[in-house]
Amino acid sequence: MADLLLLSRWLGAVPEFVTGRGGARIGFIPTASSIYPDRAWVDLDRRTLREQGFTVTDIELEILSASETAAALDDVDAVFVSGGNVFHLLSVLRRTGVDRLLTDRVHAGMLYLGASAGACVVGADIEPLGLLDDPTEAPDLTSTTGLGWIDEVIVPHADGIVSGRAVVDELRIRYGSRFTLRMLADDQALLVSGSERSVISS
Residues with catalytic function: 116, 157
Check if the beta carbon of residue 202 is closer than 8 Å to that of residue 189.
yes
Using DSSP bridges, classify how beta strands 188-193 and 196-201 pair: parallel, antiparallel or unpaired: antiparallel
Please state, in angstroms and rounded to a whole number, the distance separating the CA atoms of residues 45 and 89.
17
Please state, in angstroms and rounded to a whole number, the distance separating the CA atoms of residues 83 and 165.
20
Check if the beta carbon of residue 120 is closer than 8 Å to that of residue 176.
no
Please state, in angstroms and rounded to a whole number, the distance separating the CA atoms of residues 35 and 32.
7
